[in-house]
Amino acid sequence: MLRSMAETHQKSPSDPPEHSDRHERDASADMERDTIALPSHVAGSGALDRLVETARDYARQAASANTLKAYAQDWSHFARWCRMRGADPLPCSPQLIGLYIADLAAPQGQASRSPPALSVSSIERRLSGLAWGYAQRGEMLDRKDRHIATVLAGIRR
C-alpha cells in the first residue's frame, strides 16, 4: 500500500498540487452537475417540480466560490500526497488521512527552504476540504473516526 519513505521523493505539505491525477476532477464541474432530481414516481406531476429550482439555488449558495476553490486545492494536495506515497485517495481511509494530517503537522526538517508545519486551524481547513472532496465523489469522511480524531487531538496539544 504505502511505499517506504526512502523510495519516494518527499514533498512538503505546502507544495502546490499537480493536476494529473484521475481523482482531481475540476471542482467547478462537480458543482455545476445537477445533483437534485425528483424521484421517478413524482417527476412531472407538478407536486414538487417548482421546488426543484429553489433547492438548486440553495445548493449553489452553500459555499462561496473562494471556499470551493480552496477545497478543490485541498483535495488536489491530498491526492498528490497519496500518489507520491503509492496510495490511492479512494476509497476514504481514515488511517491514511491520519497519516496525512500527521505529515502536515510535522516539521519538514532543518533546512532553511523547508516549510514549517501547518497550524491546527490550517489542518482543520484541509480536513474540511477533504470532507468536501469525498462528498463530491459520493463518499463520507468521518472526522470523528479514532484514526483522525486522536491524531488531531495530539496535534492540538
pLDDT tier, 35 (very low <50, low <70, confident <90, very high otherwise): low
Is pTM beyond 0.75 here? no
Q: What percent of the chain has pLDDT over 90?
A: 53
What percent of the chain is helix, strand and coil (3-state, nearest 5)?
Answer: 50, 0, 50
CA distance linking residue 12 with residue 14, whole number of Å: 5
The count of residues in the chain is 157
The listed range with the strongest mean pLDDT (2-16, 30-44, 61-75) is 61-75
User: What's the pLDDT tens digit per position in 110-138?
Assistant: 555 666 799 999 999 999 999 999 999 99
- pLDDT over threshold 80, residue 151: yes
* Residue 125 host element (H or E): helix 120-136
Report all structural domains of the chain as residue ranges with CATH numbers, in order of start: 24-62 (no CATH), 65-156 (1.10.150.130)
